[in-house]
Structure 1
Amino acid sequence: MNRQVVVGVDGSPSSLVAAEHAARAALLRSRPLLLVHGYLHPLGYGVPSNPYDLGVPAPTEEARKMLERTAADLAGRFPGLAVEARQIAGGPGATMVEESRRADLVVVGSRGLGGFTGLLLGSVGAQVAAHAHCPVLVVRPQGQPIGVDGAPVLVGVDGSESSQLAVGYGAVEATLRDVPLVLAHVGPAGAERPVPDELEEVHAAEYAETVRLLADASTVVRTEHPDLVVREHPVRAASPAQGLIEASGAASLLVVGTRGRAGFAGLLLGSVSQAAIHHAHCPVLVAHPVS
């Protein structure tokens, strides 16, 4: 199967920024790009108002023209990119999740039409980021840079299975972009200040664990990607989320797992991943396994 890079497009500035990210990602991967417009609003917009009319509404001419314009613009700006556009009768979030079953990567913008302006990531993006069947790239709002040329790919490391998957994706992304890979482990803040004697051993053990986790992850990456520049970066912060968000200011991409050691087994996205996709200073790749 020639898996595509899939991006949801609704004509909003946010979705057009996401489409540009998706075009770049598709070229890097030598994959075709699929522009998807799910035209049934999840709250009922587009559903027949007559309860006796059970047919599904036809795709709109306005949306068709919007998709054609977007596809033509991307094909012109990115020579060699194969672009397909498709309208699908379904809610945008559910449509993207379903398309992710056949995708190499799904790209979502920070917000689409309909607002949710109090959130950096709207309800559709959050649904896709949590439930997709492949990696999800969450891009920043319009006006923020697509990425700093030469800036490294940053991955959070905590030794969990989800983190190991994120490290693998991060190494691939860094290789594709020809930039260094930075492996970061966040330890508790305040360890650098004088502490009572009884806490010194605790801090020493925490630091030794940080060194071990980063060394183990680096060894795996260097074995699989011997030409990749890999850096180990211990971080001190009040929380793992805060540490990664602060460090993301110097990165071109932040890669996070779906859940870390903290558990939250009832959630598809852990607290660190949730915080990262809402507040990171660069695009965020959520490392779902391809199913």
Structure 2
Amino acid sequence: MTDATGAIVAGVDGSDEARRAVRWAAEEAGRRNLPLHLVFAQEAVAITLPASQSLFDQIEEYAAEELEKAARIARETRPGVTVTQERSRQVPVPALLELSERAHTIVLGASGRGGFTGMLIGSTAVAVAARAACPVAVIRRRPDGEPASSGPVVVGVDGSPTSERALAVAFDEASWLGVPLVAVHAWNDVDYLSGLSADYPLPEPGSGNEEQRVLAESMAGWQEKYPDVHIERVIARDRPRTLLLEQSQQAQLVVVGSRGRGGFTGLLLGSTSQALLHHAGCPVLVVRPED
């Protein structure tokens, strides 16, 4: 197996979405002077009937062709980037999770060749984002189909440990991209009250001093570490997913923790990260907590 330690890893499956992910991954690897590792993961035969040798050969030929196509796309996108290839005999999710143990970032298309028509995001992207050991970028486009190639980096901040990790990743991305960072914090997450009856009185909005404090404490020290990054703070009494989805329409990347302070214990992905993976208007980078 080719060593993917510290590399940007991109999943390849022959789909247009995967090719977009390869382009994004090549740009990321080139900016950071990191290697790009392309992986085509699929069992040799994913059918239950006996298969002929010719079918085995066709599968292997297809995998080799798609890896070569992806490598050409990567080098055309970012000349000079170091590209390695891997043909994994595992199914995609276990293969990518294994690579995430030593990769810098996993990059996937929003939906792959194996997805069902009408699905907003593929099951592989959701499963890997929920369980990977490193950040996972899922490459989404604008509603009009155009790539999100401009705008700030947006990060969701809620004061949780996972949010702190997301903030660190977001500052790093904004610095490498040379763009502003928009830190988004929800004043009141009405999801906390979703199990209550409609007659339950919502708390009246106050001065917002507590929410200002949460955001200020979360941001403390980061401006000194990244003096080149211009910061914009957005605080509102709304659902985090609503604010972040709105901001994603003008951003080039949204960074979010896999599960924030409002999630239920045991859930690998919270409602906010799920909503962004399905509906964001730009790529989404999901950051999981440290084990």
TM superposition score normalised by structure 2: 0.86
1:42-57 equivalences under 5 Å are 45-46=45-46, 49-50=49-50
Aligned partner of 2:17 among 7, 14, 29: 14
For structure 2, which runs of at least 5 residues remain unmatched after alignment? 191-200
Separation in structure 1 between the aligned mates of residue 131 and residue 162 of structure 2, nearest angstrom:
15
Q: How many residues align?
A: 273
Percent identical: 38
The Cα shift of 1:109 comes to: 0.6
Task: Specify the alignment match of 2:126 in structure 1.
Answer: 126
Task: Specify the alignment match of 1:213 in structure 2.
Answer: 214
Which letter does structure 2 place at the counterpart of 1:91?
A: V
Task: Specify the alignment match of 2:69 in structure 1.
Answer: 69
User: Is the partner of 1:69 in helix, strand or coil?
Assistant: helix
Which letter does structure 2 place at the counterpart of 1:24?
A: E
Q: Judging changes above 3 Å, is the alpha-carbon distance between structure 1 residues 20 and 200 closer, same or farther for their aligned structure 2 residues?
A: closer
Separation in structure 1 between the aligned mates of residue 7 and residue 218 of structure 2, nearest angstrom:
29
Separation in structure 2 between the aligned mates of residue 92 and residue 201 of structure 1, nearest angstrom:
46
Task: Specify the alignment match of 1:277 in structure 2.
Answer: 277
Separation in structure 2 between the aligned mates of residue 232 and residue 219 of structure 1, nearest angstrom:
13
Separation in structure 2 between the aligned mates of residue 73 and residue 260 of structure 1, nearest angstrom:
36
- Cα deviations by residue, 1:129-181 (Å, 9 ceiling, x for unpaired): 111110000111597333242x1111111111111111111000000000011
The Cα shift of 1:290 comes to: 7.1
1:1-291 equivalences under 5 Å are 2-40=5-43, 45-46=45-46, 49-50=49-50, 60-141=60-141, 144-149=145-150, 151-188=151-188, 202-204=204-206, 207-237=208-238, 239-288=239-288
User: Is the partner of 2:232 in helix, strand or coil?
Assistant: strand
Q: Judging changes above 3 Å, is the alpha-carbon distance between structure 1 residues 28 and 288 closer, same or farther for their aligned structure 2 residues?
A: farther
Q: Judging changes above 3 Å, is the alpha-carbon distance between structure 1 residues 273 and 73 closer, same or farther for their aligned structure 2 residues?
A: closer
Which letter does structure 2 place at the counterpart of 1:25?
A: E
Q: What's the Cα RMSD here? A: 2.6
- Cα deviations by residue, 1:88-137 (Å, 9 ceiling, x for unpaired): 10111211111111100000111111232332211111111111110000
Q: Judging changes above 3 Å, is the alpha-carbon distance between structure 1 residues 74 and 290 closer, same or farther for their aligned structure 2 residues?
A: farther
Matched-pair contact (CA < 8 Å) for 2:9–2:38: yes
The Cα shift of 1:81 comes to: 0.5
Q: Judging changes above 3 Å, is the alpha-carbon distance between structure 1 residues 60 and 252 closer, same or farther for their aligned structure 2 residues?
A: same
- Cα deviations by residue, 1:2-38 (Å, 9 ceiling, x for unpaired): 5111011011111111111111111122110011001
Matched-pair contact (CA < 8 Å) for 1:2–1:31: no
Separation in structure 1 between the aligned mates of residue 30 and residue 131 of structure 2, nearest angstrom:
25
Separation in structure 1 between the aligned mates of residue 111 and residue 145 of structure 2, nearest angstrom:
14
TM superposition score normalised by structure 1: 0.86
- Cα deviations by residue, 1:168-205 (Å, 9 ceiling, x for unpaired): 11000000000011111112499xxxxxxxx9994225
